[in-house]
Amino acid sequence: MPRVSVPDLKRRAAKETRARQRTRLLAAVHRKQGKSIDEIAEAVQMHRRSVQDILHRFIERGVQAAESLPKAGRPKRLKRSQLRDLRGRLLRPPAANGFTESFWSTRLVLALVKREYHIAYDASHLRRLLHELGFSVKTPRPKHYKSSPREVAAFKKKRGEKSSAQNARGEPRFAWTNAASSSRHTLREAGSLAANPQ
């Protein structure tokens, strides 16, 4: 690194907002100041071998060694144009794409991708892909598939009677504890919470 001065490296490190790149630049600064590999490893809190690799890259690539090289990976199965098309399709209701459902679900998007682009994705990967496209889950399942309407109505009626009796006394039965006072969110009776402030 004879072509780069210490003040230039320090200036670059001060401007750098990304931690990994700043650490690499600081390792180069320490080396230019004549420090040993062990001293640099202790100063930047990295393993000795990692510091050696960083300095070796600086010798090979110069100041550009602060940046990571692009990592080769498997190419995306859907091309950019297909991803734009998919996003456009998902912005329209499912009926506009030939489906009878009223909202998009993972299962429905999987079917659309398979039908239109002839690509089969795993559901978890498709969720990540949809997140990258700017979509998020908005509509939960409206009811559990095993729920009984009769039991739900009975529960609501029973629960409504209890809460109205509690409200008549004008006292809340439970209060949430402070997250700082407990590692878990637990319910405690309001009386014990007032008696034992944490």
**pLDDT (tens digit per residue) in 73-83:** 788 889 999 99
**pLDDT (tens digit per residue) in 20-65:** 999 999 999 999 999 999 999 999 999 999 999 999 998 888 888 8
**pLDDT (tens digit per residue) in 138-190:** 756 667 778 888 988 888 888 776 554 444 544 433 333 333 434 333 333 33
176 touches 184 (CB < 8 A): no
User: What is the mean predicted confidence (pLDDT) over 99-128?
Assistant: 91
pTM over 0.95: no
- Angstrom CA distances, 14 to 9, 17, 27, 107, 138, stand at 9, 8, 13, 48, 42
In DSSP terms, 187 is beta-bridged to 176
Q: Look at 179 and 116; give whichever has higher pLDDT.
A: 116
At 99, list the tokens.
């489906």
